[in-house]
A and B are shown apart, each in its own frame.
Chain A
Amino acid sequence: MDLLSDPDNLDLYLTGFSWILRLTGAGALGALVLGVILAGFRVSPIPVLRGFGAAWVNTFRNTPLTLIVFFCYFGLYSTLGLELSEEIDLNNFWLGVVGLAVYTSSFVCEAIRSGINTVSAGQSEAARALGLSFFQVLRMIVLPQAARAVIAPLGSVFIALAKNATIVGTIGLAESSNAMKTLINDNGSQVILIFVIFAGTFAAFLIPTGYLFGWLANRLAVKR
């Protein structure tokens, strides 16, 4: 039972989940910003922007996150020289955030784009008739209405993001999957307990989050 009483183990566990929390927060913010911009690109009047958005989504949505995170380290950092922090852990953290944001942005973009599709054509037609430009139509008319429709899909995207944060462990961040691995290596006979604790923590956070998003989506759904 020294598994549970050893303060080092508690520390591993807490550090692991605090990294996951920070990765999720920063990654979600980055993914949201990137995703909205990309969705704007994908519906814009300029072909090259549309092409760029489509290429981005197709590339990053179809590559395993493990590889994207790998490229963040060996491409962005190693080769392109992008150092985000002097400290190893923080640098890996930020590289992980970039990877998560880039990967998740392609899903956010698609969610928003399908949200835009739920706004009825009359809305933007009316806006254009008033003389609004593309950017104004998007910003003032379409996106605010689309936002209500994308809450549920965005919720799933961000929940997936929280779970995907474990993959940043491949570049050495001591997040919860690495913490669990370490604990299992040291306490081989208590594998099940360790798994239940880690999986349970994820479930305890993410299941209510899922319901919260569902509730929000229902509440804010456009009743037409």
Chain B
Amino acid sequence: MSTDAVLYDHPGPRAKTRNMILTVVFGLGLLALFYWIYLKFDEKGQWAPELWKPFLESNTWVNFIIPGLIQTLSAALVAMVLSLTFGIVFAVGRLSDHWWVRVPAGAVVEFFRAVPLLLMIFFIFYGLPYINGGVPVSAFWSVVIGLTLYNGSVLAEAFRAGVRSVPRGQGEAAYGIGMRKNQVMRHILIPQAARAMLPVILSQLVVLVKDTALGYIVAFPELMQRGVNDLGANRANVVAAAIVVAAIYIAVNSLLTSLANFVDRRSSRRGIRMQRTAPTESLPAQALDASFSAADGVAGARNQA
């Protein structure tokens, strides 16, 4: 369905009045709620200037928030690059013709998708040195490895759905002109799947940025740790600090989300997006199945948090 406006008639005069009344009522209710929250915060002294003054000082930004944000973003970026690699390798692994590749790859992907990231990061930091002969794992790498294993598995599933969503004729034609499986994968299927998956990859980046906050469990000095815990310890303003930090997360992630949407629209305009909405009746049934699983893959991967 193209979008929203299909669900209701174009409003006539009565509907317009009704909508107007509902708008006003709801809007006023919302404003009242916000005002009440404001008053309550005021009552508890949360707007006291000494709690907010630190955010006018350069020390707060230069030594707490910005270094924290840099740690957050660099962990997210490194993990993104690694997850992509991990994702492609394991997606191809799961699509392999050999069961001894397919099964272990599937097990790895399923396992890491099912284990909470918090437990994983904690284990990598405290447990891995017991396995790798006592080589310490820094907080940064604990977070990055944890994020990679988890998001890589999610991306592997997304890629797999993407590869399956490429119209079957593409692969068949490639085999037809004598390409080997490896070549079909590399030259035909993955490039098409990757383009279809670009928005998913970008929205996974949002997940990565958010999930770095779980680094608190190993005291990774990311935005939450520096901006809320450390700053809060210094200036006794945890709640104010948390509000500011939340605003930063929302700003950064909204930027990434709108980038993802932009790419999504751009690629769909070019007609290379996999069918995610209802396919039209003219498509053959098999393509439909494929596009449904792609839709699931996309939506599923998007919703991993």
Contact = CB atoms under 8 A, between A and B. Distances in A.
Direct A–B contact in the complex, CB atoms closer than 8 angstroms: yes
Interface of A: 42-50, 52, 58-59, 61-67, 70-71, 74-75, 78-81, 103-104, 107, 110-111, 114, 116-121, 123-125, 128, 133-134, 137-138, 142, 149-150, 152-153, 155-157, 159-160, 163-164, 166-167, 169-170, 176-177, 180-181, 184, 189, 191-192, 195, 198-199, 202-203, 205-207, 210, 217, 221, 224
Interface residues of B, number: 73
A153 B300 contact: yes
A203 B122 CA distance: 17
Contact of A43 (B7, B127, B303): B7
Contact of A67 (B3, B110, B242): B242
B8 A156 contact: no
B123 interface: yes
Contact of A170 (B216, B254, B257, B295): B216
Contact of B210 (A65, A78, A152, A217): A65
Nearest first, the 10 closest Cβ-Cβ pairs linking A and B are A62-B253, A153-B299, A64-B213, A134-B8, A191-B127, A163-B116, A206-B114, A152-B296, A156-B300, A121-B1
Contact of B277 (A67, A118, A159, A160): A118
B250 to A, nearest CB: 5
A106 to B, nearest CB: 9
Interface of B: 1-4, 6-9, 11, 15, 19, 22-23, 26-27, 30, 37, 40-41, 44, 46, 110-111, 113-120, 122-123, 126-127, 130-131, 206, 210-211, 213-214, 216-217, 224, 228, 238-239, 242, 245-246, 249-250, 252-254, 257, 276-279, 281, 288, 292, 295-296, 299-305
A158 B249 CA distance: 23
A66 B1 CA distance: 36
Contact of A192 (B2, B127, B253): B127
Contact of A124 (B7, B27, B118, B253): B7
Nearest to B211: A64
